[in-house]
Amino acid sequence: MNLLALLVDRAKPLTLRQIRQELGKQYPDSDEAARAAFERDKAALREMGIPIETKTLGGDAAGEVIYWVNRSNYELSDLRLTESERDALQLAVATVHLGAQHGEEALWKLGGERHLNKSSMSVNIGLVDQNMGTITAAVMQRRTLNFEYKGESRQVDPYGMLSRGGFWYIIGYDHLRRDQRVFRVDRIEGRVVAGEVRTFTTPENFEVVAAVPTEKQMLAAGDGEITTATVLVDAALAAGVRREFGESFVIREREDGGVEFAIPCANLGAFRQWLFAMVESAEVLSPPEIRDHIVQWLEELATGS
Q: Cα–Cα distance between 305 and 296 in angstroms, integer? A: 11
Check pLDDT > 60 for residue 97: no
Nearest residue to 101 via CA among 197, 35, 4, 187: 4
132-207 maps to which CATH number? Answer: 2.30.30
Name residue 21's amino acid. Q
User: Considering just the CA atoms, what is the radius of gyration of the chain in Å?
Assistant: 25
Q: Which residue has the higher pLDDT, 205 or 24?
A: 205
Q: Cα–Cα distance between 11 and 260 in angstroms, integer? A: 59
Query: Exposed, middle or buried by CB within 10 Å (0-12, 13-18, 19+), for 138?
Result: buried
Nearest residue to 211 via CA among 248, 158, 175, 138: 158
Q: Cα–Cα distance between 91 and 85 in angstroms, integer? A: 10
Class of domain 2-73: mainly alpha
Query: What's the topology of domain 217-303?
Result: Alpha-Beta Plaits (3.30.70)
Q: What is the DSSP letter of 279?
A: G
Residue 299 and residue 247 in contact, taking contact as beta carbons nearer than 8 Å: no
Report the Cα–Cα distance between both ends of the chain, in Å, rounded.
47
pLDDT band for 166, please (50, 70, 90 cuts): low
pLDDT in tens, 43-75: 887 777 677 888 888 777 777 888 888 766 555
In this structure, the chain runs to a length of 305
Query: Quick one: angle between helices 31-47 and 2-9, nearest 10?
Result: 80
Q: Give the range with max mean pLDDT: 57-61, 160-164, 174-178, 243-247.
A: 174-178
pLDDT in tens, 106-130: 544 444 444 444 444 334 334 456 7
Question: Span 203-225, mean pLDDT?
Answer: 80
Domain residue ranges of the chain, discontinuous segments joined by +: 2-73, 83-115, 132-207, 217-303
Q: Cα–Cα distance between 287 and 256 in angstroms, integer? A: 23
